[in-house]
Structure 1
Amino acid sequence: MRTLCLALLVLGIGTLAHGQAFNIFSRERRIEPDFPSLPANHLKFYLKFAQPMERGEVFRHLRLVQIDTEGREIAEVPEPFREVELWDGSMTRMTLWLHPGRQKPGVNLNVEIGPILEAGNDYRLEISERWRDENGNALGTRISYRFHAVPADLTQPAPEKWKIEVVDGVPRLLTYEQLDPSSSISSIRCRRQESKTPFVILPVFPNATTKLPYSLNHSVFELRVPDKEFPQTALYPVAWPPGDYELVIDPKLEDLAGNSIARPFNLDLEKYPDFKERTEPVILPFTIPERSK
């Protein structure tokens, strides 16, 4: 599995941009996640656009196709999506679900039609160049994302295995697993140990200019200090003030297959009738050392 290396952007004591400075990310058209490999039980994509998009018949602009190793189309995957439009308030970000009924073993659609993704196969998600924004302007260029399906991820995120390292005064969280982008934004907070007052952080991929010895299939978060708290104009993270901090991780945090810290996505209650969901947050302490002048 690709290790997720995310950058954490702090807002007030905030978006994912793989290889881009965060201040231009809002103008990007992109598909998230964009790891080279995804688990066969992957659940959600996030489609991001520069402008509010035309709505109502969006699924005619979306395709999931199986491809060969050279990228040639083998076949279109039938009925892959849960055809419900889920937009953010700006109408520039749509959550695209692979149908959970087909991705969850033993459910009717999974039995009758089969799973959407099969481990070992290659796929391409396509957004048609004919899709228009609210002003009637077509995208003009097809947006696509190619990935390889690996065996299903049936394990819960394990924050006890994560690592926080500090590079030039900037903390980075290495999760060694793939996390859901939206869940990462909503479920990870930070606080100073002495005050215990949490402040918001947003996951941001380190910029392409950053030399990181990490796998492309891993999640890594880099923490960015907000202008509001520590005024600065740099496009990239600057050193944090020295001191002791804690990451506060909500147990609702999910991986790409919908497994959360609290519970696995495909929990068999008949097999585990006494299973107790975790409700307490996970606390990961770290220290920003004094920097030599």
Structure 2
Amino acid sequence: KNYELLDVPGFDSPIKEHRDAGLQAIKTADAFLFLTNGQQPSLTQPQIRLLHEIQENHFEAMQRAFGIITKLDLCQTPATYQDHYDKAFNELIEKNFKPEHIYVACPRLQILDKNTEEFRIINRKIHNFSDDLAQGFERSQHGLEKFIEYELPKTHLKQVTALGRVRLVRHVLEALDKIKEKQLLPQNLDISIDEYIKQQNIENWDQVYYKHIFQPTFAKANHWHTTTITKERTKFIDDVKLKFHNSFVDLTKDFLKEIHQIEQLMLETHGYTVLQLNAHPIDNK
């Protein structure tokens, strides 16, 4: 779950393509497991050569390396087990493996039926040797999952940062080469490029200020005024008109619904008679 294991050819293979494929896999993998035989605590020459090449060309890969010590369940006594374990562990430390990335495991116990006598004998034996060996497979699995969840994102970020730094340096060097080719700098420059640029800026400050500071700032301000201010002002006026219209309608709706007896009011106020009024019907509304 959450990761895929890739089994690559052994590094002690006499076939060069096998060794190259293994190195390429380590270079591109997020992590790699390095298995060593605990019955032979000293690493073999192919293993030493492999680790040397990894550290020489891909040193950061050792941050992603997990050392798995196997076959210690074949030891006859706890003392022999401890001696072989210490030697194998210390040698991996010398090869720049992280202590927390080194585990001891008994893989064959994982494939045996728990109801068999062989399983019970081996299980009892390794529990007598060490809890690390008895729980080594689960601990290595947990360590790998923890690395994927917490450490791997940091590793990816470091890789991206390093790649960005390399590209940035390359672009700067290329730009400096172009400057030299076009002779934009004096040939006998006895000060740093930064000092030279600073000196040129001081001598040509008026031109630099107008061209590189005032004009760009004024252009941005003018663009902002012609777009944002005009747009917002139009929106504000439209909003005010709409608000006034809605308020006027809301405040006068009751008044418009009423019917005023204008004719009766005129008669009562001025003492007119109906005969004195215009013959046209009166609009009481």
Superposition TM-score tier, normalisation by shorter sequence: under 0.3
TM-score (norm 2): 0.19
- Which protein is bigger by CA-based radius of gyration? 2
TM-score (norm 1): 0.19
The structure showing larger relative contact order (alpha-carbon pairs under 8 Å, at least 6 residues apart) is 1
